[in-house]
Amino acid sequence: MTTRPNPSEPAAAAGEVGFDAKLDKRIGDTLKHYPTPRAALLPVLWLCQERYGWISRPVMATVAGKLGESPAYVEGVVTFYTMFRTRPPARFVLQVCRTLSCAVCGGRELIAHLKAKLGVDFGEQTADGLFELQAVECLGACGSAPVVQINDDYYEHLSPEQIDAVLDRLRGKE
């Protein structure tokens, strides 16, 4: 299994955020591929989320300064796109496809099973911060339904027993 835990740095939540040399270089390299700094906003935000696990207001302000934009503009972009997190994620975010293909192939049962097993509903995290359950409309893997994306990895053709085994393995990574 390749699923790695999400990074999440509480330090990114308060005060000013200074990017380390590695992130600064990656942002600089990214900017070279775009005609204007504004055009690079989405990839730069993605780099920040990859680094910190989420996009806090201080990170938004630092990105705004780096790209010559207002913090309000950057916040508007971050809050518009659902791919950006504005709060620390759980270590493992389970995105469960709830579209028709997954639903008719056992997705409804899988969703009910996950909610009961984890004791959370969509948009919630387990009390230990290990798992977060999210509903998504499509993961683009209809031929292998039902599908759950955990962090960056897809788990396909899932049964309740198979997802239990995956969750047990992820618990062992703690």
Instruction: Count how many Cα atoms sit within 13 Å of the Cα of residue 154 in the half-sphere of its side chain.
Output: 13
Which tokens is 147 given?
């599908």
Q: What pTM was estimated for this model as a whole?
A: 0.78
Instruction: Count how many Cα atoms sit within 13 Å of the Cα of residue 22 in the half-sphere of its side chain.
Output: 5
Domains by residue range for the chain, with CATH: 10-80 (1.10.10.1590), 92-171 (3.40.30.10)
Contact (Cβ atoms closer than 8 angstroms) between residue 56 and residue 8: no
pLDDT for 148 equals: 95
CB count within 10 Å of CB 138 equals: 13
Which tokens is 97 given?
């496809």
pLDDT digits (tens, 9 = 90+) for 62-100: 999 999 999 999 999 999 988 899 999 999 999 999 999
